[in-house]
Amino acid sequence: MKKHNFNAGPSILPRIAVENSAKAILDLNGSGLSLLEISHRHKDFQAIIDEASALFKELMNIPDGYHVLFLGGGASTQFVMAPYNLLQTQAAYLETGVWAKKAIKEAKLFGNVNVVASSSDKNFSYIPKGYSIPADADYFHITTNNTIYGTEIKHDMDSPVPLIADMSSDILSRPTDVSKYAMIYGGAQKNLGPAGVTFVIIREDILGKVDRKIPSILDYKIQIDNGSMFNTPPCFAIYTCMETLRWIKGLGGLKTIQAMNEKKANLLYDAIDNSTMFVGTAAREDRSLMNICFVMKEDYKEKEDAFMEFTKTKGMVGIKGHRSVGGFRASTYNALPIESVQALVDCMHEFENENM
C-alpha cells in the first residue's frame, strides 16, 4: 500500500534526495568510495558543503555579511549557543510553545530573560500580538513555527534589536526576508534533511559583544572561521540537505514552494472548516502551513481512536496529534505531495459519511 507520510519530524523528504543519498552511500560520484567513508577534508566533501551553503544563500537570498553553518547538536544546542554567544545582560523571548519554553530555560543560565508575551493561557493555540520588544534587550527570540500546536508567524517582523528565529519546522517553506533577522537556526530533520545536522544562518556583526569566555565548539566565531569544520561535521546529513536544496531550486525556488504549501494547507483546512465532525485547534489567523492540528468535536470525541485506525488502513502515517494537544496533526512539509493531503481529506469524508 502507498504510504502517506505526515510525520512531524524526522519527516518526509523529496524522494530524489533520498534516492541520491542512497546512491552516494554506495558510491560517491563514481569514486568507488562511500560518502560515509571519506574524510570531511576530502575535496569531494568540501564541494558538497560548499554547494549546500551556496544553495541556501541563493534560495533564501541571504545578503552579504551572513554565514551559513552546518553544525551538530540539533536546535536544542542552539537554545544554549545563542545566549552563550549573544546574551550579555538581558534577552527578550516570545513564548509560543514547548520549544520556546526550552529555549527560555537555557537562556536563563546566561542572564535576564524577559518573556515579552506568552500564549500559554490557551495551550499555545495562537500567536501573541500587541506586545512590545524592549529596545535594551541584547536580542529578541521567536519560534516562527510551533510544530506541536500548529501555529506560525508567517511574516518577517521588524525588531528594534537583533531578531533570532528558531525556524526548525518552517525553514525554506516560503520566501523569507533574511535581512530582518540576525540569526535563523533549526534542526534539519523537519523540512530539510535527516536528523543530525543543524543549520545556522548568522550575521557576523552580532558576535563578539559578550564578556564571558566561550568554549570553542560552542563559539559561532570559531565555527565560522573553520567553515563548519572545527570538528567533524555530520557529513551524510549535510549531503542529503544539499540534495533537498537542489530539489527546491529545480522546482523554481521558494515562491513555488510557498504556492504548493498554501494549496496543500488550504485543501486540508477547508475540509476541517467544512466538517461537522472535525475542528481545528489553532486560531485561524495564526494557522501553520506546515503542521495542521485538528480534533473531533465534543459530540464525536469517542470516535478519535476509530478514525486513527481507519486512517492506518488507508496508508496514513504519523497523524496522531502531540500528547499536549491530542487529536490529530498532519505535517504538510515541503516534500509532502498534494496527493497525500487529498487522500487524507478523502479519508475524513469517508469516515464522516460512515459515522454520522
Ligand X SMILES: *Cc1c(COP(=O)(O)O)cnc(C)c1O
Q: What is the CA radius of gyration of the chain?
A: 21
> 297 is written with which cell numbers?
468535536
Query: Shortest gap between Cβ of 76 and ligand X (angstroms)?
Result: 3
Residue 99 designated active-site = yes
Residue (166 or 243) nearer to ligand X, CB: 166
With CB under 6 A as the contact rule, the residue among 14, 150, 162, 187 that binds ligand X is: 187
Q: Site for ligand X (CB under 6 A): which residue of 5, 6, 9, 95? A: 9
Q: Output the smallest distance, CB 179 to ligand X, in A.
A: 22
Comparison of 20 and 143: residue with beta carbon closer to ligand X = 143
Give the position of cell 563578539: 208
Q: Does 321 bind ligand X (CB under 6 A)?
A: no
Amino acid at 160: P
Q: Which candidate in 99, 170, 219, 264 is catalytic?
A: 99
43-52: long-range pairs with CB below 8 Å, 24+: 45/235, 48/235, 48/238, 48/239, 48/242, 49/227, 49/228, 49/229, 49/233, 49/238, 49/242, 51/242, 51/245, 52/238, 52/241, 52/242, 52/245
Residue 123: DSSP 8-state: T
**Which of the following is catalytic: 27, 44, 57, 166?**
166
In the complex, least distance from residue 349 CB atom to ligand X, rounded to whole angstroms: 30
Q: Which of 170, 190, 247, 264 is flagged as catalytic?
A: 190
Q: Which of 67, 190 has the CB closer to ligand X? A: 190
> Binders of ligand X among 131-170, rule CB under 6 A?
143, 147, 166, 168-169
190 labelled catalytic: yes
Ramachandran sector of residue 115 (left: φ over 0; alpha: ψ -120 to 50; beta: rest):
beta
Q: Which is nearer to ligand X, 171 or 296 (CB)?
A: 171
106 versus 166: smaller Cβ distance to ligand X: 166
Backbone torsion region of residue 12, taken as left when φ is above 0, otherwise alpha when ψ lies between -120 and 50, otherwise beta:
beta
> Least distance from C-beta 166 to ligand X, angstroms?
5
Q: Shortest gap between Cβ of 184 and ligand X (angstroms)?
A: 12
Distance between CA atoms of 235 and 46, rounded to whole angstroms? Answer: 10
- The H or E element that residue 271 is part of is helix 254-273
CA distance 331 to 321: 10
Residues in 58-117 that interact with ligand X by CB under 6 A = 74-76, 99
Q: Which residues bind ligand X (CB under 6 A)?
A: 9, 74-76, 99, 143, 147, 166, 168-169, 187, 190
Task: Enumerate the active-site residues.
Answer: 99, 166, 190
